[in-house]
Amino acid sequence: MLSCGWLLALSLAALTGRTTGAVAYEQTERDCSLYPPYLPSTAVNTTLQLQELRERMLPLNISAYIIPGTDAHLSEYIAPRDARMAFMTGFTGSAGTAVVTQTKAALWTDSRYWVQAERQMDCNWELEKDVSIRNVAEWLISEVPSGSEIGFDPFLFSLKTQGDYGVNLESSNRSLKSIPVNLVDQVWKDRPSIPPDNLTLLPDRVIQRSWQMKVEQIRNQMRDNPYKPTALLLSALDETAWLFNLRGSDIPYNPFFYSYTLLTIDEIWLFLHTVRVTEELKVYLNASCEGPLCVQLKSYESILDHLKTYVAQPDIKVWIGTEYTNYALYEVITPADKLMTSSYSPVLTTKAVKDETEQRILREAHVRDAVAVIQLLMWLEKTVPKGKETELTAAEYVNMCRGKQKDSRGPSFETISASGPNAALAHYSPTEATSRRLTVDEMYLVDSGGQYLDGTTDITRTVHWGTPTALQKEAFTRVLMGNIEISRTIFPSGTRGVNMEMLGRRALWEVGLNYGHGTGHGVGNYFGVHEWPVGFQGNNIPFRAGMFTSIEPGYYKENDFGIRIEDVAVIIPVQTKYGQDYLTFDTVSLVPYDRKLIDTSLLSSEQLQWLNKYYKTIRRLLGPELDKQGLNEEKDWMFRNTEPFMASGSSASVCSSSLTLIVLPVALFHIV
């Protein structure tokens, strides 16, 4: 799945595809130039909430109020109760910032969501397409008078966000004003609560390392740090979930729960909603004792007061990861000599490297997940020519197939199921209003993933059931070449992903094609599908053995088609002729690529060799699982689609004889 931290550099036009509902076609986007303005049925009337918010701004003497699209933990995915931007604007995309003044309201979102925003917002709102904080600041300077204060909730701002606004406003005689009571919450009368069925926290019994072992591992890093921190503050939800091997369900698609942790050398404080605290949880966390491995359970809302009390003591130094600590917590750690910062906390950097057990079970999750994806592709191959299936039914089908797999806990994100021009919208997900009927005349892209007790998965395949155009075939092959080039690369340990990211683009660049999103992101063991800080971006940490990352180049032709090939790979040691401490990628996703879209005349001999060895791996690892599940038809489909490729010719021809299966030890997963 595409990481939401990257902006698509694609200008996306309105969808023009067929709808599947019984209602007549309507113009899908608003037109505010008309009088009265035209609003589609999907637009939300926001007049009342804007009026009430502006009334609450007046006594605070603020001329504008900033509403980010995140929560107090700076999460990518947020719970319905934290969807303040959506409540105020009607826009439900996962990325954006809203700003309200007494006379205007504007939303900034990136190009993935321009069409969606035009469909969901009424004419109270302007849509701004430059999402930089500099652009937001320039708009504020033009709309509010000199000397004005601009309000924000410090719990919803990262340190960097607050700093960037400050820099861009400082010379304009306009300033930020921290307002710790969220004004949208005061207006939002029916704001969702935490559902009662979300209150249960379950220990992760699959992971080998106990929470006590993890606590000591992190404490050793604190002891070894030359700056001698006395405490570590954990703010990201996956940090606390990982440290205590606990899983919840507060966040859609993510097994997290609202929490903070303050860890010292000899004490542990866990801040959570106390209604969750059962006797079983107290026993699990040693909450009824005193000592360095006894967890003191505190109310979620008390984190700020507790942190102030702790910082007031002498000889204190609190370590924070700046990427996920909100400004409200940061600003109470004073004076400055009581603060120690790094981009990521030691929990996030430690979690990024999976141990042997985590690697093994994450591989096993991908084997079962491949079964579900193959079931989808085989089913579509049969049914699409009949003209009855839609993007929405395909998304539902793959999630149903995953739900039948062992230890399934639902999808890891909203399935991207897109055909024709919808696939050119890289973050499109089908709805009743937009779902197109699948046909043999269009390309189809499905980006989906599952949550399992032993791992999180994410895979994208692009297929064509008819005859692809020359451009579609060449573009697909060049996207595949980029995927292979990264996957087969050997590199020194400690290399940053950003330094090899261009390998995924080179084959596209050679003919003037490109894609506007990131090339990969970390993946966890029953965690978030985008697990920081692993990946190919500039702010990701260097690669080390045991990290898992997606590899996902693509190409998108506006209003026509979209291509993405995404695999998850684990970084493993590799023997070289001369050097030591070298690494490479071992692909753990196990679904073949669409043969008819591959032009083998474009592939180098090394790329073709990699592809054939990958297909051997699929046969070796997936065949026994399909046998185990009694899926004979799916096994036949898999074998047909993993026949070896011949080097000659301009199409994906296959050898006349079948591959001989070679049974190798489980440890020999490496594809060179």
DSSP states along 486-518: HHT-EEETT--GGGTGGGGTHHHHTTT---SS-
Q: How far apart are CA 495 and CA 498, in angstroms?
A: 9
| CA–CA gap between residue 463 and residue 67 (Å, rounded) | 40
Which residues sit opposite 66 in a β-bridge? 99
The DSSP code for 29 is S
Residue 418: helix, strand or coil by DSSP? Answer: strand
User: Rounded CA gap, 480 and 474, in Å?
Assistant: 10
Q: At which residue do the structure tokens 């045991």 appear?
A: 546
With tokens 């690892």, the residue in question is: 621
pTM exceeds cut of 0.85: yes
* Per-residue pLDDT tens digits for 379-417: 999 999 999 999 999 999 999 999 999 999 999 999 999
| 542 exposure class (CB count in 10 Å sphere: 0-12, 13-18, 19+) | middle
d(CA 103, CA 101): 5
46-187: what fold?
Answer: Creatine Amidinohydrolase; Chain A, domain 1 (3.40.350)
- Contacts for 112 with CB less than 8 Å, ≥ 6 apart: 2, 7, 8, 12, 93, 95, 425, 426, 427
Q: What would the mean pLDDT of 595-621 be, rounded to a whole number?
A: 98
Torsion of CA 4, 10, 16, 17, to 10 degrees: -50
Domain 200-352 adopts which CATH fold? Creatine Amidinohydrolase; Chain A, domain 1 (3.40.350)
Residue 117: which of 11, 42, 9 has the closest Cα? 42
pLDDT value of residue 522: 98
Domain ranges of the chain: 46-187, 200-352, 356-635
Confidence (pLDDT) at 6 = 36
The answer on pLDDT for 667 being more than 50 is: no
CB 479 within 8 A of CB 563: yes
pLDDT at 76 over 80: yes
Q: Is the pLDDT of residue 666 over 80?
A: no
Cα dihedral sign, 68-73-74-76: negative
Instruction: Place 536 in a pLDDT band, splitting at 50, 70 and 90.
Output: very high
What is the tens place of the pLDDT at every residue in 419-442?
999 999 888 889 888 899 999 999
What pLDDT score was predicted for residue 111? 79
Paired tokens of 661: 């299966």
- The CATH number that domain 356-635 falls under is 3.90.230.10
Same fold, 46-187 and 356-635: no
Lowest mean pLDDT among 455-464, 545-554, 574-583, 644-653: 644-653
Q: Tell me which residue of 535, 526, 259 sits closest to 412, measured CA to CA.
A: 526
107 pLDDT higher than 90:
yes
For the stretch 282-305, pLDDT in tens is 999 999 999 999 999 999 999 999
pLDDT number for residue 26:
60
Given a cut of 80, is residue 180 above it in pLDDT? yes
Tell me what the pLDDT averaged over the chain comes to.
92
pLDDT-derived band at 262 (thresholds 50, 70, 90) equals: very high
239-247 average pLDDT score: 97
Confidence of residue 324 (pLDDT cuts 50, 70, 90): very high
Using pLDDT thresholds of 50, 70 and 90, give the confidence band for residue 8: very low
Counting residues of the chain whose pLDDT is more than 70, the rounded percentage is 92
